[in-house]
Structure 1
Amino acid sequence: MSVNLSDYFKSYFGENLRDQLLKATSAADEMLAPSSRLLQKRREAMEVNKAMTLQREDFESTLRALRIRKDELIEKEGQMKEYLQKFDNFLKENEVKRCRAVRKASRERELTNQKQVDLVTLQEETKALVKERDRLEKRVQKNAIYPHYLDKVVQASEQESRWAHIQNTAAKKTLLLGTIKMATLNLYQCVCKRAKDTGESPVAPEDTIKQLEKIQTFLADLISIWEEVNKPDQPGPTGHR
């Protein structure tokens, strides 16, 4: 801040000092001789100069205080700007962290929901397997009455032991055949489910031979795929053995 001291003193002291000098001069002119008036005027000039000097020093002191205050305000303004910048950075970092936490929580919710869906699916598959096991057990129990029946026939026909033996053997073979057919049917159903073979009409439950052919084809394809996957890589023309 620049101040013109001359203009300031002119505006501040000009009128008052001029009036005082005029009054002092007119009063002195009436009372003093010319030499005395000169001395008086010098003294008055010295007093006026001293007063102006004191007021100028006071003004300069006030001006220095204002400059110091201005510098302090500028420094505080810089500190405030720095604080605001740090606070703004702090808010931005918190926003980034909040967004990251929101995304992480969203991913965790999605994973939890997917695991719940997988759990429900596994529970349903387990129930289906238990139901299938119970059904097979009932079929086995139903077929188990035939050996008991044949045993009673053998006991009642001891004279026809050979025939009974043949019947018993036939019954066992029949039971074994039934078990084989049931196992073949179950294995065929598993193969169809795994292979998702919907391009052809399903084989009848009593056509065990056709079911075995389907199973054999599926196993052959599976073995071929397994051998292809586990086949060692062939070295190139410049490769090492």
Structure 2
Amino acid sequence: MAAPRPAPPLPPRAAQDPDSAPEMSLGLEEHLSRAFQDKLRLQMVPAWDSASLLPSRRLLLKRREVVEVERALQAQREDFQQRMEHLAQRRQQLGQREEQLRDDTIKFNAFLKAMSARRQRAQQRAGEERARAAQRGAEALRLQQELERLQRRRERLGQRLQSLRVFGDFLQDVRAATGQFQDVPSMLAHFGALVEGRAVLLQQVEARQAALAQGRAQLQQCCEEADSELTSSNEEALQLHARLEAARSDVLKGETHWAQLQGAAAQTTLLLGQIRMAVLSLFQLTSMRLEVPKDVALEDTEAQLDVVSVTQQLWGWEGRGCPSDTEAPVSPAAALHAGPGCHLCRAGAVFSCACYHCHTPTASQSCHCASQPGIDGLRIQWSTKVTQHVQGRMKGNAPVQSLGHRCPPARHMDGQK
């Protein structure tokens, strides 16, 4: 039985070069798998003719093969265990190397950062130096140009001084001629003060002219406002005058209407007095002819009318002959029409007085009258005629004819007035 083949050695570069640890760790699993497969391979046992061997021989051969396989497996396990320990040691060494490399990397990065910062500071200082040098160069160039400009100005001022020397001589001659100034600058200062005073005076004049123009504009505006206010006041006065005339006209109309009302009231008062006198006459005739109670006051017209109405309802106006005496009752309408103490039947036949006495053809006075109406119709007619009479008096119309009676003009109530 052949001995197991040894495992292939590790690559020398991976064992010697520590920097190749990452590459080795990447293919570690694949390498172990391939080595394990190689270790498990067994040598081919020479084949025996199973037909020529006895069963016991075959059993022994089988047990032998099993023992060899067990030995081979045990050797492979030991080898695998050794390799695993070696790999663990190697992994630990690689971890330490990795930690060391990490620290070296951190230190190197810090060194690079420090170098970069130094380089930046150096570049910054160099840039500042270059900028200062450029600024100094620009300043030197500017100063050179300023110097050239000042030299040119000096030349121009020299030329101008030569040209103005004549005026200096003239000023000296003027100072000597005036004799008021010690030197030319004092004279120039005096004339300068005079020029400034003239400018101040001109400014004051312009300011006063502006204020005067503003005052004129305000005056014009005030005049326009006053004119507009005066116009509006005149219009308002005209309106108020028109309203005053209208009010006066209304007052005259009101006074006229009041006078008319007073006249109508006076006529109504007069008519009321006449009506009260008529009622009093009826009451006196009734109380005198029919012997009714006389304890009613003279001012109580309503009570007097009640007495007359009750008397009419009790006695009525029955048809009877027209006696020659004065005991015949008289109707209220006839009493109102003819006045107190008048017996209408004595007027005579020529007047044809239509009273509400029922006269027979055999009457001595031959008075023909219409038939007697009922007491209610008489009261309604009498009330209607009195109302029409009062309304006609209030409206100022002609007096209404008497309450249905035709009597002599001397007996008419208006004729008695």
Q: Scaled by the length of structure 2, what TM-score is found? A: 0.27
Which one has a larger percent helix, Structure 1 or Structure 2? 1
Q: Scaled by the length of structure 1, what TM-score is found? A: 0.41
